[in-house]
Structure 1
């Protein structure tokens, strides 16, 4: 293979048919050249024997015209790629001489005809992007790979957040937003939700159990007895009235607590219901309660321990994520993989979401193409301009040169027939 052929083959690179194309081109060129030489030989022989064999004049006329047609078409084909016989003839080597213009026109042609908004949107509408995304996410191996990639980025993201000061900004914003929250109405809503279905009665039951344990505590009873002794006259103490009174008080209180715990509709429970409902109403409407709650909130948020708690929570979260990210059985990675797979399955089963996603892809990609198509045109033009002239010429010739060689055959045939027809007309009308 010649050096030019090797250069053309190297330019194609991935084209596995390069050798076949080059061989076919060489064969076609050889046959075309041989046909042209044959016409010359036929013309010479026919002309030399024309005196002895007059009918050979028709053959000579055909061969002469075929030779002229073949030479003319050879010139036309060669002039596309190079200068015939190396002569500086004007308007030859058309492709190499017009490389810049061809490059610019090719870029504009692609921009106007292939990257116009209408054709681009029409082509994009044919693609089901959402289904491609759904199928990709639903694949367990791909979802696992994506989760590993995301988990590897999380520690770096957290580090970038710290270095950028975003953590302090977020903490400050959270505190500012918390300061805007009205505590009293919020507490009222929470308590009202808690008291639904009388769930607050469980708190009342716990309170009665605490009182019951207090009444059975020896130290508490001793303190109560001492208090009763101080309040009673000395005469009563001589008869140990304090012990009697304490026993009665404890027994009565214990009996009352048992009754309350056993009866869900006990008056004391109803009184507790009214107390809680009234307290909730005061929280919701009382300006005094609201002012007290705001003072408590501001004092609470102003404490340095709150900011330290936020920093500690962030540090704990980061340590957990960093340790989990490098673990073989990372929980975050497992949950992310499951989430990606589930998202893919839901997306595959919801045609409305897929339609919305596809429309979004079309709008985004069409807008991107529209904004970048001038750059694509310039890129194509610049690439064509940077092509080596010899390689560019050889590449074009190798891909379409074989068809161009057939023009030479056609030129010889058409030229020969035209020459034969003209010679016949000449003999028919002029000789007579």
Structure 2
């Protein structure tokens, strides 16, 4: 601002000096015209130039203040009309700049999605963004309490759980497990676990068998139990060793039947809904929201406090993947840019009046003299050129008028 004021004062002094020079030339011409009639020509130039300089000085000064401090009507235009100027400025910006057509036309030539994707694809940028997100998590978690978590679950999670078809979901999970015989290793592990349990509990089985068969001798009971266990174990070995065993096919059929029943049976659907309702009631009555919040908070804080934060790395890698994915897919960029333009147009249409109102209120809140000083510092230098040009234009007009007068007089 100091540099602008210096340049303004310099131009103002130049225009004033030119005005004084016109007055000086006029005085010289008035005094010497009797002895030198040809001085009528520069006198006409000086007279008209002086009038032009005074008129333009008045016009320039009247914009910002009263000329010579005299409260002449229609002077100090800017300070007096600050409120109207503020409203007109806000309305002008709203009608000519803050329109969806102008904003979208201005932004449509810029591929914002590509620029953002390229920025995210750089690890340094994604790491910086991930650090910002990660550093904000402790404050977010500290600001949460048990009621916040409960409210979030009640509004977002539980309503969807209540409408969830558990039986159908279980059927889909079974279909995924049985696809490509993924369930066969589970059967093998189950058979080995059953074999280990039988081997470890032979004596308990014998005791139970003896209790149920009171009229047979103990050696016979032990023989029968041993043979039974050995037969079962041998059968399990056969099933494990033979991928085409009949029991495997029976197991596959049983799994498929169960999947079909889960998908179509009303009994299973009611049972699934009942189990889910019991689980929801158990969570609501058990006070698990506080435990869940404390668990998440402790793990997040511990991870962020470690030297190698998995959460930070996960966030950075996610941002990098998003950036590379969007950068390599022009169709995604096109959709994102279209979405961004729609959002921008909607925001402008919805909030442009508030934005123009903000500009109006800010300008209205300025001090009138300060506004005049700021505007004069910005455009006053150019206005001094008007004074200078007015002086020369007035002078040339005076010479032309003087020539016309002489021409008519002859």
Give the TM interval when normalised to the shorter protein. 0.7 to 0.9
Take 1:34 and 1:66, find their aligned partners in 2: how far apart are those partners?
11
Moved more, 152-161 or 355-364: 152-161
Residue 345 (1) aligns with residue 324 (2): yes
What is the match of residue 79 of structure 2? 96
Residue 70 (1) aligns with residue 71 (2): no
Preserved CA contact (<8 Å) 2:167 2:268: yes
Preserved CA contact (<8 Å) 1:187 1:283: yes
Take 1:88 and 1:374, find their aligned partners in 2: how far apart are those partners?
36
Q: Secondary structure at the match of 2:37?
A: coil
Q: Could you tell me how far 1:289 is from its partner in structure 2?
A: 6.6
What is the match of residue 60 of structure 1? 43
Preserved CA contact (<8 Å) 2:48 2:394: yes
Aligned-residue CA RMSD in angstroms?
A: 4.2
Consecutive unaligned residues of structure 1, counting only runs of 5 or more, are 1-7, 10-16
Take 1:376 and 1:172, find their aligned partners in 2: how far apart are those partners?
34
Q: Could you tell me how far 1:320 is from its partner in structure 2?
A: 0.9
Taking structure 2 as the reference length, the TM-score comes to: 0.77
1:143 to 121, 126, 137: 126
What is the match of residue 29 of structure 1? 15
2:383 to 400, 404, 427: 404
Moved more, 199-208 or 94-103: 199-208
Preserved CA contact (<8 Å) 2:149 2:293: no
Preserved CA contact (<8 Å) 2:120 2:323: yes
1:79 to 41, 59, 62: 62
Q: Could you tell me how far 1:103 is from its partner in structure 2?
A: 2.6
Consecutive unaligned residues of structure 2, counting only runs of 5 or more, are none
1:307-386 map, 5 Å: 307=286, 312-386=291-365
Structure number with larger C-alpha Rg: 1
Q: Could you tell me how far 1:398 is from its partner in structure 2?
A: 3.6
Take 2:201 and 2:322, find their aligned partners in 1: how far apart are those partners?
60
Q: Could you tell me how far 1:209 is from its partner in structure 2?
A: 7.8
1:30-429 map, 5 Å: 30-47=16-33, 50=34, 52-167=35-150, 170=153, 187-198=170-181, 202=185, 203=187, 207=191, 210-211=194-195, 214=198, 219=203, 261-273=240-252, 307=286, 312-429=291-408
Q: Secondary structure at the match of 1:55?
A: helix
Preserved CA contact (<8 Å) 1:215 1:221: no
- Cα distance per residue 1:148-183 (max 9 Å; x no partner): 332233344344443434337627986776566555
- Cα distance per residue 1:183-214 (max 9 Å; x no partner): 55555554454444555555268537845884
Relative to 1, partners in 2 of residues 1:46 and 1:128: Cα closer, same or farther, differing over 3 Å?
farther
Preserved CA contact (<8 Å) 1:205 1:261: no
Q: Could you tell me how far 1:109 is from its partner in structure 2?
A: 1.9
Take 2:275 and 2:44, find their aligned partners in 1: how far apart are those partners?
118
Preserved CA contact (<8 Å) 1:161 1:167: no
Preserved CA contact (<8 Å) 2:198 2:229: no
What is the match of residue 4 of structure 1? none
Relative to 1, partners in 2 of residues 1:341 and 1:57: Cα closer, same or farther, differing over 3 Å?
same
Take 1:396 and 1:179, find their aligned partners in 2: how far apart are those partners?
65
How many residue pairs end up in the alignment?
Answer: 409
- Cα distance per residue 1:369-409 (max 9 Å; x no partner): 33333333333333333434444334333443343333344
